[in-house]
Structure 1
Amino acid sequence: MNTVATSLTVFACVFAGALVGMRLRRTLPEHHLSSETKETVKLAMGFVATMAALILGLLVASAKDSYDTQSSGVTQLAAKAVYLDRLLANFGPEANDVRQLYRGVVERITHQMWPEQYAGESQLDPSAMRTEELLVAIQALAPKTDLQKTLQAQAVSTSLEIGQMRWLQYEQAGTTLSKPMLGILVFWIAVLFGSFGLFAPSNGTALTALLLAALSVAGAIFLILELQSPFTGLLQIPDTPFLDAIAHLGQ
């Protein structure tokens, strides 16, 4: 989902709730705005506020945890990439062609994962890169010594691990915020802001406070959505680990 459009929609719904509350205040009879009624509304909205704050906090924590997991996965993937190249380098000159092929694969993967800095759209699906030829090339090496046999076996194992990590990253990146959960959360907060507007004085200071509070809620939703899209947007994971890895390939 589009993070900016969704956040603006959330802001509009929440702030509209406050405006509806202010409008409703003008039409209600005075006995509906008594101190006893106000206390009852406060108690009810306190329960709603607790639920909304709990869910919002859990969503932020979950999104941050997902982002950190993806970021750690990128670092591990870059480290594995360098390690595989060193295995091939220690195999000997016979692996030079494989190393050149491997460098091109890593560069294509980098271009694929960070589309904002390169041409093309974001594509995390490992099957789109057709990297199986690298595994075939490694298996085609003809080891002559026990050391080369060990290095070849380790290179094959590392190549498979990299493939598994990329599929795991692809599946993790597919998790998004549940639309029904978001809808219910926004409804709770809009009702809460409606109660704010119901008893708020009709002046610019109160309206500005409600406006800033609605912006804060929309900002929290924006943060959650951005953290759940770690390879695009303002909070995308930097490509520094992969760029450093590419700089070490072939050395």
Structure 2
Amino acid sequence: MTPKSRTLSDTADTRKNWRFPGMEEIYGLSFLVLFSLSAVGGVILRRRLHEEHLSKENMEAVRLVTGLLVSFAALILSLQLSTSRAEFDAASKDRSTYAAHLASLDQCLRDLSSRMEPARQLLRRYTAAVIVSSWPDEPAPQVKIMLDTKDMPLRGEDMVLAGMMNQIGLAIDSFEPADGVSKNIVARCQLDYRATLTARWAVIEDTHAPSSVSFTLIICFWLALVFLSFGLQISHRLLSKIVLAIGVVCVSSVMFVIIDLKIPYGGFFGISSASMRDALADMNRDNNAGAPHQETSTR
């Protein structure tokens, strides 16, 4: 039994935890608007400045400062994108690992005894509830007595799901093996249970990544200054303005990807529910596919 029984509803929380519907689209549009306004502001400022302010020496100084800002922004953007992708990949891997441990635990309970069927049913209900609460926009899996997940907390422990996992652990610990084979299977189930709890914790912690709002705002400020200076430097020709617009769109899309990757259970790049659904399908398969161990009498 773990000392900390946070449930995967916590990860389920993921979807509510991390965003409201469409938040990443709002962020992306905000970046596009901010950088566009900065570039347009630079163009307007160039038109209103006296020619003496647009001398070759002054423009060289502007280009020098702009190059410095661009270098810093490019370095930080690349690091942010790399970090966000690594965190997303880790969260996806942790979810797949957790699903595999759930399926392994169910198989062990199946092998142990038919008396563990109530615990297996509890595990199936738990897994289905996690799927529904983590991916609310997808079709709900079909299980008997589906839990109501709409009132699960946005972050932290859900007492109902925590209790279900605890009951499964108690069922394993309280099972009395009748022979050596059963004893070995009980030991394996206990190991599987502990591995499942550890994997669940990894998934939960993936949803508690440190916020980088302040850092993102600073980057946006830098980029806004960069596009302001770009608008100040370009000539009043259509091609120059088109190239500037392309730059605005490209940088805005990079910022969108960085933000979206930090929303692992929502957004454009969301973690798939396939691994959890595969685990549940494995739990629901016909019991004849894996007959439970038949205990021998000790009398």
Whole-Å separation in 1 of the counterparts to 2:155 and 2:275:
17
Question: What is the number of equivalent residue pairs in this alignment?
Answer: 251
> Shift of residue 211 of structure 1?
2.3
Which residue in 2 is equivalent to 1:208? 242
Q: Secondary structure at the match of 2:257?
A: helix
Which residue in 1 is equivalent to 2:97? 76
Whole-Å separation in 2 of the counterparts to 1:124 and 1:107:
19
Whole-Å separation in 1 of the counterparts to 2:130 and 2:193:
14
> Shift of residue 159 of structure 1?
1.7
TM-score by length of 2: 0.78
Residues 52-201 of structure 1 mapped to structure 2, 5 A cutoff: 52-118=73-139, 125=156, 127-128=158-159, 129-130=161-162, 131-175=165-209, 177-201=211-235
> Shift of residue 80 of structure 1?
0.8
> Shift of residue 206 of structure 1?
2.8
Of Structure 1 and Structure 2, the greater helix share is in 1
**Letter of the structure 2 residue corresponding to residue 146 of structure 1:** G
Q: Secondary structure at the match of 1:235?
A: coil
User: Can you give the 5+ residue segments of structure 1 that lack an aligned partner in the other structure?
Assistant: none
Moved over 4 A (4+): 118-126
Which residue in 2 is equivalent to 1:232? 266
In the alignment, is the contact (CA less than 8 A) between 1:49 and 1:192 conserved in 2?
A: yes
1:38 aligns with 2:69: no
Whole-Å separation in 1 of the counterparts to 2:137 and 2:245:
33
Whole-Å separation in 1 of the counterparts to 2:157 and 2:173:
20
Whole-Å separation in 1 of the counterparts to 2:157 and 2:283:
21
User: Can you give the 5+ residue segments of structure 2 that lack an aligned partner in the other structure?
Assistant: 1-18, 141-148, 288-299
In the alignment, is the contact (CA less than 8 A) between 1:78 and 1:241 conserved in 2?
A: yes
1:221 aligns with 2:242: no
Whole-Å separation in 2 of the counterparts to 1:74 and 1:125:
17
> Shift of residue 202 of structure 1?
2.4
Percent identity over the alignment is 26
> Shift of residue 91 of structure 1?
0.9
Deviation per CA, 1:167-204: give whole Å up to 9, x if none: 22222212255121111111111111111111212244
In the alignment, is the contact (CA less than 8 A) between 1:227 and 1:235 conserved in 2?
A: yes
Q: Is 48-57 or 74-83 further displaced after alignment?
A: 74-83
In the alignment, is the contact (CA less than 8 A) between 2:116 and 2:171 conserved in 1?
A: no
